[in-house]
Amino acid sequence: MEGLDVNDSAFEAWGFRQYFSPAHVALDPQFPYVSASLKDRLAVIDLLAQMGADFNSIPSEGLYQNPPLTAGTTHTTRVPDYQQLQARAILHGADPELKGSSFFGISLDSEKNSYFLAFLRLHAKDMKREGISTTPVESVQNILAKDPEDKVLERMKELRSVSKTMSSSSKAESSSSE
């Protein structure tokens, strides 16, 4: 695979009104030919990064021109795992502030997006432990340097517990209404 350019337009595929690079496809949790396992999807993103994938590429042709981070962020619903895939790509250099024709970037404001920031920090910690190199843009480096990891992990546990409680109560409500 030496000499292979994963950013070459020959690897682009036509998707919904725009071309998609391998980075776009790897970040799309709905893409049918990528393993359903989150671990495998993250490994694909890591491999593409190792091969020099540009996670900020925006195709110039098509009705839409959106960066890979737009994958999984439809206007109507959010797809499970999309934030974890985005966090991994951001740690490999995807610019969360990069906008597209129908994508407005990802806010890294801790008040508005604490859950996503927790994913970002959790993945940074996991990648460091696994020896996977990261190359986040400067704004992301600054955010990662701000808060101690223990606070982040505490917040992540709180959010997961709230999420489980909400999920349990909605299941109970739906079964009682039947």
Residue 83 resides in a domain: yes
Residue 41 resides in a domain: yes
Structurally, the chain folds into a number of domains equal to 1
Per-residue pLDDT of the chain (178 residues; tens, 9 = 90+): 567 888 888 887 777 777 788 888 888 877 766 556 888 889 999 999 999 999 998 877 766 778 888 876 665 566 678 888 999 999 999 999 998 877 888 888 767 788 888 889 999 999 999 999 999 999 999 988 886 555 656 666 676 676 667 666 655 555 555 5
Cα-based distances in Å from 170 to 80, 81, 115, 151, 157 = 17, 20, 20, 29, 20
Distance, CA of 114 to CA of 118 (rounded, Å): 6
Residue 159 resides in a domain: yes
Residue 177 resides in a domain: no
Angle between helices 149-176 and 114-130 (to 10 degrees): 120
Which CATH number is 141's domain given?
1.25.40
Residues 29 and 72: beta-carbon distance below 8 Å: yes
Residue 150 resides in a domain: yes
Residue 3 resides in a domain: no
Helix (H, G, I), strand (E, B) or coil at 73: strand
Domain that holds residue 156: 11-165
Residue 175 resides in a domain: no
Q: What is the total residue count of the chain?
A: 178
